[in-house]
Amino acid sequence: MIQTTSILDLDKAKNWLSQHLSHERFEHSIGAHEKAVELAEKFHLPIEERERAAIAGLLHDSAKLMSPPDLLDYCERYNLSIEDMDRKTPQTLHPFVGAELVREAFNVQDPDILNAIRYHTTGRAGMSRVEKIVYIADKIEGNTRNPLYIQKMTSSLDFRNGWSLDLTMLYILDSTIQFLMEKHQVIHPRTIEARNDFVSRLRAEKHL
pLDDT digits (tens, 9 = 90+) for 59-114: 999 999 999 999 999 999 999 988 888 888 888 999 999 999 999 999 999 999 99
Residues in the chain predicted with pLDDT less than 70, given as ranges, are 1-7
Burial of 19 (0-12, 13-18, 19+ CB in 10 A): exposed
Q: Is the distance from CB of 159 to CB of 42 less than 8 angstroms?
A: yes
Question: Looking at domain 10-204, does it have CATH number 3.90.180.10?
Answer: no
Q: Which residue from 95, 101, 87 is spatially nearest to 64, judged by alpha carbons?
A: 95
pTM exceeds 0.75 for this model: yes
